[in-house]
């Protein structure tokens, strides 16, 4: 029988408000974690904060230190005339907000995080915490502003990021609603702190993405970024005949500079050439300049005429010759706008550009060699095309691929500890595994499931996880299907025998989950990540039940979407597994890498 409660001296039911507010704070954190950009993060924060505090509108503003103004990033809810959801230029002098000066002074003198303050439309005196000499006058102005906009009260919570004032969270209620209380101010302070944590995570994710797709020495894109862009460019070429061109350059004389002048001078030579490559890319709108590794660079263009690309490559060669300590570059060009035959895969275009670059280096040419453009009479077919096809072990005389053959690629060894929970080590190791799989052609660039299995398996082994699961959600569906999994050691769920648990884990690939019952998983599939530890406060009951019944102690999940559908990678832990919580952000970045480029659904 359910105890409905009575006034008979027995225990009363606890007030549900703290639980609801805790859940709202958790949901705010989850929504910010699912955001892909800082703007998406603050929009999610404003929406959740409005709901959590029963406000009618919310705004998130950032302190622009250069201009000394408080700039509004987003407004949400019931807006007054003249207010916009995403204002282009809504800002106010920080001097108009003595509360900011007050909390800055409090932060630096006491070391405590500032508390939110309250304002009503009828206020005539500043809040007790405002000690700034002009607070009274500005309090009256803020009250008048509330009345003009039909609002009864507001609560303003400062947002502190990395120990410095970042901005503020502003929430208001319309006339006729109850005024905010001191308890509401305390809760707004908590939400502002949660927003600060979410912004820090968004910054970290941006840093990881930059690391994943850029070269640390030159700041150019890396091979991974080129592969992703080239996949989409060739898809456009095969769909509507868009011209795609690839320029591959090898910096001459780098070994001599390193040996005679030192690696610091060699790095400076690479940086100077990277600058020239960036200038060349600027002349071809939409192009991508990248360092492939070592002394090798490339320029990828889409939609530009082949002659325009060759002209820019000519100028690039001339500028490279003028670099001090350098000896120019060997430059090869391959473009679908020339007579090079059908190009349906990135491999073929890269192989053609590499063959052209090889011929330029062998001839010590000061000009680019262009695939499909013979340099002399009697070349039919083009010698560069012949060289590229001869180097391809899958090539046959009739132009069709040979079955069961794959190109050989360089194999790179993993570096670092056998097991590590460090996010940087995780990122480096898994990205190396993805690159190794691509180089050895063990994983086709369009094989989404294959790439996600590499991410899952490598991450699980580094973290010493119990096992991993890769799941798939068809486009437009609410149902998630397990596509592939691996279990490295058995666990035991509550009330089950080891045999029962083992059978459940092995048979789980047939499982189908309705995402409407698993909110955290649903958010992750849209591009988020989360970690779950059994018994932790604030866990979603359905998510924790699935975890505990399976016999696991914890998990980390990350997901994302591509044209093939939604995807989720889950790693499961027992007591021997390294901590998973700090891996969530790195896993989310790795999923973004694996889901970039061409896509395919799992084969059923």
pLDDT, one tens digit per residue, over 164-178 is 888 899 999 999 999
- Is the Cβ–Cβ distance between 273 and 297 less than 8 Å? yes
Q: Are strands 369-370 and 329-335 parallel, antiparallel or unpaired?
A: parallel
Does 77 score more than 90 pLDDT?
yes
Say how many Å lie between the first and final Cα of the chain, rounded. Answer: 48
Confidence band of 50 (pLDDT split at 50, 70, 90): very high
- Residue 69, Cβ neighbours under 10 Å: how many? 18
Give 179's DSSP letter: P
Does 546 score more than 60 pLDDT?
yes
Is residue 366 included in any domain, yes or no?
yes
Q: What is the mean pLDDT of the chain?
A: 81
Is residue 10 included in any domain, yes or no?
no
Written as six digits, the tokens of 326 are 């350098």
Residue at which a domain ends, from 367, 390, 413: 390
How high is the pLDDT of residue 165? 82
Among 16-30, 159-173, 289-303, 440-454, the range with the most confident prediction by mean pLDDT is 289-303
- Residue 12, Cβ neighbours under 10 Å: how many? 9
Span of 58-62, 125-129, 466-470, 569-573 with lowest mean pLDDT: 125-129
**Total count of domains within the chain:** 3
- Is the Cβ–Cβ distance between 176 and 60 less than 8 Å? no
User: Could you tell me the pTM of the whole model?
Assistant: 0.56
How high is the pLDDT of residue 112? 58
- Is the Cβ–Cβ distance between 334 and 371 less than 8 Å? yes
**Looking at the structure, do residues 181 and 32 belong to the same domain, yes or no?**
yes
**Looking at the structure, do residues 100 and 185 belong to the same domain, yes or no?**
yes
**Looking at the structure, do residues 508 and 574 belong to the same domain, yes or no?**
yes
How high is the pLDDT of residue 176? 92
Mean pLDDT of all residues in 35-56: 90
Is residue 418 included in any domain, yes or no?
no
Q: Residue 375 is part of which domain span?
A: 219-390
**Looking at the structure, do residues 179 and 253 belong to the same domain, yes or no?**
no
Residue at which a domain ends, from 211, 237, 257: 211
Mean pLDDT of all residues in 24-50: 86
CATH code, domain with 223: 3.30.70.270
**Looking at the structure, do residues 160 and 35 belong to the same domain, yes or no?**
yes
Does 271 score more than 70 pLDDT?
yes
Written as six digits, the tokens of 532 are 């779950």
To which residue do tokens 């990277």 refer? 274
How high is the pLDDT of residue 380? 53
Q: Give the 3-state secondary structure of residue 398.
A: coil
More confident residue, 160 or 445: 160
Could you tell me which of 125, 138, 253, 115 has the C-alpha nearest to residue 193? 115
Is residue 551 included in any domain, yes or no?
yes
**Looking at the structure, do residues 326 and 379 belong to the same domain, yes or no?**
yes
Is residue 126 included in any domain, yes or no?
yes
Residue at which a domain ends, from 179, 211, 243: 211
How high is the pLDDT of residue 228? 87
Confidence band of 29 (pLDDT split at 50, 70, 90): confident
- Is the Cβ–Cβ distance between 555 and 572 less than 8 Å? yes
Cβ-Cβ contacts under 8 Å for 563 (sequence gap 6 or more) = 599
**Looking at the structure, do residues 383 and 437 belong to the same domain, yes or no?**
no
- Is the Cβ–Cβ distance between 213 and 219 less than 8 Å? no
CATH code, domain with 85: 3.30.450.40
Is residue 360 included in any domain, yes or no?
yes
- Is the Cβ–Cβ distance between 50 and 174 less than 8 Å? no
Could you tell me which of 595, 514, 532 has the C-alpha nearest to residue 559? 595
pLDDT, one tens digit per residue, over 335-349 is 999 988 889 888 889
Mean pLDDT of all residues in 13-39: 74
**Looking at the structure, do residues 63 and 129 belong to the same domain, yes or no?**
yes
What φ, ψ does residue 476 adopt, rounded to 5°? 80, 5
Confidence band of 381 (pLDDT split at 50, 70, 90): low
Does 225 score more than 60 pLDDT?
yes
Cβ-Cβ contacts under 8 Å for 407 (sequence gap 6 or more) = 347, 392, 393, 394, 441
**Looking at the structure, do residues 228 and 359 belong to the same domain, yes or no?**
yes
**Looking at the structure, do residues 235 and 107 belong to the same domain, yes or no?**
no
Give residue 56's region: left, alpha or beta (phi > 0; psi -120 to 50).
alpha
Is residue 407 included in any domain, yes or no?
no
- Is the Cβ–Cβ distance between 63 and 70 less than 8 Å? yes
How high is the pLDDT of residue 440? 62
More confident residue, 222 or 113: 222
How high is the pLDDT of residue 581? 81
**Looking at the structure, do residues 245 and 365 belong to the same domain, yes or no?**
yes
Is residue 61 included in any domain, yes or no?
yes
SS (HEC) of 209-275? HHHHHECCCCCCECHHHHHHHHHHHHHHHHHHCCCEEEEEEEECCHHHHHHHHCHHHHHHHHHHHHH
**Looking at the structure, do residues 430 and 380 belong to the same domain, yes or no?**
no
């Amino acid at each position: 029988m359910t105890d409905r409660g009575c006034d008979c001296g027995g225990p009363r039911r606890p007030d549900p408000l703290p639980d609801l507010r805790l859940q709202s704070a958790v949901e705010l954190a989850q929504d910010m974690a699912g955001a892909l950009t800082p703007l998406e993060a603050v929009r999610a924060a404003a929406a959740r904060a409005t709901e959590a505090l029963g406000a009618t509108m919310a705004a998130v503003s950032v302190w622009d230190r250069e201009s000394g103004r408080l700039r509004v990033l987003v407004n949400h809810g019931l807006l007054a005339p003249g207010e916009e959801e995403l204002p282009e230029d809504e800002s106010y002098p920080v001097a108009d907000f003595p509360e900011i000066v007050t909390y800055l002074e409090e932060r630096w003198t006491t070391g405590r995080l500032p508390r939110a303050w309250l304002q009503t439309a009828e206020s005539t005196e500043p809040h007790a915490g405002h000690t700034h000499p002009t607070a009274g006058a500005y309090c009256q102005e803020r009250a008048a502003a509330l009345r003009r906009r039909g609002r009864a009260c507001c609560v303003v919570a400062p947002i502190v990021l990395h120990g410095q004032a970042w901005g503020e969270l502003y929430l208001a209620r319309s006339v006729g609603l109850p005024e905010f209380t001191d308890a509401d101010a305390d809760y707004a302070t908590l939400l502002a702190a949660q927003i600060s944590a979410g912004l820090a995570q968004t910054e970290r994710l941006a840093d990881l993405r930059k690391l994943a797709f850029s070269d640390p020495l030159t700041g150019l894109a890396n091979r991974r970024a080129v592969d992703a862009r080239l996949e989409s460019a060739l898809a456009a070429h095969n769909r509507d005949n868009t011209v795609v061109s690839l320029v591959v350059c090898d910096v001459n004389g780098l070994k001599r500079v390193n040996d005679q002048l030192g690696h610091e001078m060699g790095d400076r030579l690479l940086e100077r050439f990277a600058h020239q490559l960036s200038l060349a890319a600027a002349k071809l709108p939409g192009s991508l300049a990248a360092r492939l590794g070592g002394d090798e660079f490339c320029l990828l263009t889409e939609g530009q005429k082949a002659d325009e690309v060759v002209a820019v490559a000519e100028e690039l060669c001339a500028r490279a010759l003028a670099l001090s300590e350098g000896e120019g570059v060997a430059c090869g060009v391959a473009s679908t706008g020339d007579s090079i035959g059908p190009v349906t895969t990135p491999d073929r275009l890269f192989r053609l550009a590499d063959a052209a670059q090889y011929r330029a280096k062998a001839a010590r040419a000061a000009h680019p060699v262009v695939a499909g453009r013979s340099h002399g009479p009697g070349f039919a077919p083009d010698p560069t095309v012949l060289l590229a096809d001869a180097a391809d072990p899958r090539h046959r005389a009739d132009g069709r691929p040979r079955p069961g053959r794959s190109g050989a690629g360089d194999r790179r060894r993993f570096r670092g500890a056998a097991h590590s929970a460090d996010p940087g080590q995780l990122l480096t190791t898994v990205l190396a595994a993805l690159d190794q799989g691509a180089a050895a052609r063990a994983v086709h660039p369009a094989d989404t499931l294959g790439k996600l299995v590499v991410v899952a398996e490598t991450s699980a082994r580094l973290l010493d996880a119990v096992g991993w699961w890769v799941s798939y959600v068809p486009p437009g569906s609410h149902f998630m299907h397990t596509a592939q999994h691996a279990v490295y050691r058995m666990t035991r769920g509550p009330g089950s025998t080891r045999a029962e648990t083992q059978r459940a884990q092995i048979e789980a690939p047939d499982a189908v989950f309705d995402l409407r019952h698993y909110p955290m998983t649903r958010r992750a599939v849209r591009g988020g990540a989360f970690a779950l530890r059994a018994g932790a406060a604030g866990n979603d009951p359905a998510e924790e039940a699935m975890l505990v019944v399976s016999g696991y102690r914890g998990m980390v999940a990350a997901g994302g979407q591509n044209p093939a559908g939604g995807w989720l990678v889950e790693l499961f832990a027992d007591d021997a597994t390294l901590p998973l919580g700090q891996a969530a952000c790195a896993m989310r970045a790795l999923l973004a890498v694996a889901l970039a480029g061409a896509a395919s659904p799992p084969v059923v």
